[in-house]
A and B are shown apart, each in its own frame.
Chain A
């Protein structure tokens, strides 16, 4: 989550879901090409990924998340519900 380079998950031209077509090893420079689906969590947008990341760091506590985000408990729970629904659809 500290990386400043954002992984694009949606096509900037048509908004469709992007797929992974190339992977490379930093050590030996091996490159692999193919057509790989992004894992469900990576299909979420940056904000949602950050939420899931912090939610796990907070041991899944909505109360701690609401304190950290300075949002009310039901609002945080609603954000979580929206992510759950999106993951289920994916």
Chain B
């Protein structure tokens, strides 16, 4: 019952309904725009890759990732007969994408749009030689990207758990399955265009 205030890790204790949905839609739009501006795209729920020829369609990527996750989470709620409001599920899961706003600035600061194509275009055996000069940049950016991803996963789990209030172990298992399913579906949709 003691609810400590922590907006970074548990924002869903305080925001709900239309306010959360409005904030979430802005977050999704901004993350898509930032990624597009540095020639990256969110081509999967847990993916953030450089794209040499950006298409305006890629601006929709965050929205596709969000709606697939939100719908699957809502379907889980219906399956387990949990009394949740769709507006809260949509809003909170959208707000959970907030950490994704940080990925484009990290990629930009560390010059990843120049380094990553080098790696993908190089034969496997020559990669260590090619990435040698960029090792520190790659290590630091990977560390920050990992932190962002962990925060993103944590927030999506919080949104899922706050809405459905399943038992702890049960919710973790179902969430992991949901994550895998969302990744498979979003990758297959987003990489088809």
Contact = CB atoms under 8 A, between A and B. Distances in A.
Interface residues of B, number: 18
Given A74-B84, A75-B13, A48 B162 contact: no
A54 to B, nearest CB: 13
A33 to B, nearest CB: 33
B1 A72 contact: no
Contacts of A79: 1
Contacts of B29: none
Contact of A73 (B2, B16, B165): B16
Contact of A74 (B1, B2, B3, B16): B16
B83 interface: yes
B162 A78 contact: yes
Contacts of A75: 3, 12-14, 16, 162
Contacts of A81: 165
A75 B6 CA distance: 14
Q: Is the interface of A mostly helix, strand, loop or mixed?
A: helix
A57 interface: no
Interface string A58-89: 00000000100011111101110110000000
A72 B163 CA distance: 10
B88 interface: yes
Given A74-B165, A77-B83, A78-B162, A45 B1 contact: yes
27 contacts: A45-B1, A47-B1, A47-B2, A48-B1, A51-B1, A66-B16, A71-B3, A71-B13, A71-B14, A72-B14, A72-B15, A72-B20, A72-B92, A73-B16, A73-B85, A73-B88, A74-B12, A74-B85, A74-B163, A74-B165, A75-B3, A75-B12, A75-B14, A75-B16, A77-B83, A78-B162, A82-B1
